[in-house]
């Protein structure tokens, strides 16, 4: 496969780079933020900028507001956003529920929900995991019982990112206990302002609040909020997870991360009087770079795969597995290089770091330990590494 950029690709790259430089100049407050550190206002602002440029949902079909870009252009755009340290789009609307709605939803559902996702005015969260039902999602127990024109929902979801921001939640709920567990699950859209919905915060090891518990107590949801057919939600959930796993690989951001540690490595290697192991770190950076290049090639294959082909279903699995482990290893190396300078100052949290006084050096400190800690979860959400290996063995090896 030819992975070189065409003249049209290069012209597109130049246009994107110029737009990003205008919207996100050096020193902009939103630069360097991610899903776990940016505010709702910053996330909404970024989605609004993209929408006004016509880029609010690059992978959507044109008829629903997509760009019509080629896979190469989408890859270029993502890489340029990473290079410019652009904030993240909230994936729950654009990447996850949006494609489910325009593929399986009713016309009324599309008309009601897609515009708010595109322009950033409506936020979504994902109601999948439950206490005891994470990797084994088919064992979920949140019940939705039909009562006239409504479903009455009772249960609990956990690890719900951005639920404290969200206007809506898309939920997997149990509508039948007959047959296999996967056969009794439905996909339901729930307004977070509905009486009986309660959100409680979960504070994570990185000292941030981005996760939550969500409780449903006799929540009445109009039956028109059912997506697709009742008891067929498992099909829609698998469709959504394929979209989610591709994004989790996050090769563009990982490339920026490696570039940053190369900058710090160059600085440390040229300091006098320290015991910095230049050759060992150089070797580790080279190994990470090779792994990233291999992952980028795999990503190109996945993006170029024919729709509904075996490659389109199988390739996202190793991408998620390899990408998240690579992210963790890059973050681990950054902390190793920074040594005690990556440690938070006592009583000042992860935003303040000790160590070297040189500003060029210290500018890499804030966020390193926080990012490393939050990254521990990347091999869990979207399907654990163990689950990914099991699915790949089934698809590829027939086990």
| 145-163 residue pLDDT tens | 999 999 999 999 999 999 9
Tell me the sheet residues that pair with 169.
125, 190
Which H/E stretch holds residue 214? strand 209-222
Both structure tokens of 65? 């507001």
What is the average pLDDT across 131-154?
91
Highest mean pLDDT among 139-148, 304-313, 388-397: 139-148
Domains assigned to the chain: 7-89 (no CATH), 124-231 (2.40.110.10), 250-397 (1.20.140.10)
329 touches 290 (CB < 8 A): no
Tell me the sheet residues that pair with 173.
186
Report which of residues 215 and 395 the model is more confident about.
Answer: 215
Instruction: Give the pLDDT confidence score for residue 393 in this predicted structure.
Output: 82
DSSP alpha helices (H): ranges in 53-148? 71-83, 91, 98-104, 107-119
- For residue range 69-128, list pLDDT tens digits in order: 988 898 889 889 988 989 999 999 999 999 999 999 999 999 999 999 999 999 999 999
Instruction: Give the pLDDT confidence score for residue 330 in this predicted structure.
Output: 92
DSSP alpha helices (H): ranges in the chain? 7-23, 40-52, 71-83, 91, 98-104, 107-119, 233-249, 251-269, 278-304, 310-314, 316-338, 359-362, 368-374, 385-392
47, 118, 163, 205, 221 from 193: Cα distances, Å: 23, 21, 11, 29, 11
- For residue range 260-291, list pLDDT tens digits in order: 889 888 888 887 767 778 899 999 999 999 99
Residues in the chain: 399
User: How many other CB atoms are there within 10 angstroms of residue 211's CB atom?
Assistant: 19
User: How many other CB atoms are there within 10 angstroms of residue 232's CB atom?
Assistant: 18
- For residue range 205-241, list pLDDT tens digits in order: 777 788 999 999 999 999 999 999 999 999 998 888 7
Q: What is the pTM of this model?
A: 0.81
End-to-end CA distance of the chain: 30
Instruction: Give the pLDDT confidence score for residue 245 in this predicted structure.
Output: 53
What string of DSSP letters covers 261-309? Answer: HHHHHHHHHT-TT----HHHHHHHHHHHHHHHHHHHHHHHHHHHSPTTS
Q: Which pLDDT band holds residue 13 (cuts at 50, 70, 90)?
A: very high
Instruction: Give the pLDDT confidence score for residue 358 in this predicted structure.
Output: 42
Which 3 state secondary structure label does DSSP give 171?
strand
Instruction: Give the pLDDT confidence score for residue 366 in this predicted structure.
Output: 44
Rounded distance between C-alpha atoms, residue 351 and residue 153, angstroms:
40
What is the average pLDDT across 179-203?
95
> Catalytic site residues?
244
Instruction: Give the pLDDT confidence score for residue 392 in this predicted structure.
Output: 78
Percentage of residues in the chain with pLDDT exceeding 70? Answer: 88
Instruction: Give the pLDDT confidence score for residue 372 in this predicted structure.
Output: 81
Q: Given a cut of 60, is residue 351 above it in pLDDT?
A: no
Q: Given a cut of 50, is residue 321 above it in pLDDT?
A: yes
Highest mean pLDDT among 4-8, 231-235, 347-351: 231-235
Q: Given a cut of 60, is residue 395 above it in pLDDT?
A: yes
Highest mean pLDDT among 127-141, 177-191, 260-274, 347-361: 177-191
């Amino acid at each position: 496969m030819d992975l070189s950029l065409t003249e049209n690709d290069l012209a597109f790259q130049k246009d994107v780079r110029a737009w990003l430089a205008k919207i996100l100049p050096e020193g902009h407050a939103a630069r360097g933020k991610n899903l776990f550190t940016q505010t709702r206002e910053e996330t909404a602002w970024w989605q609004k900028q993209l929408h006004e440029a016509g880029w609010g949902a690059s992978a959507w079909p044109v008829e629903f507001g997509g760009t019509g870009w080629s896979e190469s252009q989408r890859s270029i755009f993502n890489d340029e956003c990473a290079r410019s340290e652009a904030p993240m789009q909230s994936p729950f609307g654009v990447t996850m529920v949006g494609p489910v709605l325009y593929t399986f939803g009713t016309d009324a559902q599309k008309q009601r929900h897609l515009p708010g996702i595109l322009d950033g005015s409506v936020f979504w969260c994902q109601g999948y995991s439950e206490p005891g039902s994470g990797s084994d999602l088919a064992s979920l127990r949140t019940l939705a019982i039909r009562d006239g024109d409504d479903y009455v929902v009772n249960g609990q979801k956990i690890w719900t990112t951005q639920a404290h921001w969200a206007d809506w939640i898309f939920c997997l709920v149990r509508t039948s206990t007959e047959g296999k567990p996967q056969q009794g699950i439905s996909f339901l859209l729930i307004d977070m302002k509905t009486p009986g919905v309660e959100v409680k915060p979960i504070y994570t090891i990185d000292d941030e609040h981005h996760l939550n518990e969500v409780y449903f107590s006799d929540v009445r949801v109009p039956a028109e909020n059912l997506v697709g057919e009742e008891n067929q939600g498992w099909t829609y959930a698998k469709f959504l997870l394929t979209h989610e796993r591709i994004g989790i690989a996050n090769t563009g951001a990982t490339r920026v991360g490696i570039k940053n540690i190369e900058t710090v490595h160059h600085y440390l290697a040229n300091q006098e009087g320290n015991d910095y192991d230049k050759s060992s770190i150089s070797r580790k950076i080279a190994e990470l770079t090779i792994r990233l290049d291999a992952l980028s090639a795999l990503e190109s294959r996945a993006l170029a795969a024919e729709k509904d082909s075996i490659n389109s279903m199988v390739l996202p699995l190793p991408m998620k597995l390899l990408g998240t482990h690579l992210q963790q290893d890059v973050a681990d190396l950054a902390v190793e290089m920074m040594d005690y300078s990556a440690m938070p100052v006592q009583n000042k949290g992860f935003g303040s770091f000790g160590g070297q006084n040189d500003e060029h050096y210290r500018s890499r400190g804030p966020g390193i330990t926080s990012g490393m800690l939050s990254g521990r979860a990347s091999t869990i959400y979207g399907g654990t590494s163990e689950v990914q290996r099991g699915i790949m063995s089934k698809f590829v090896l027939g086990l």
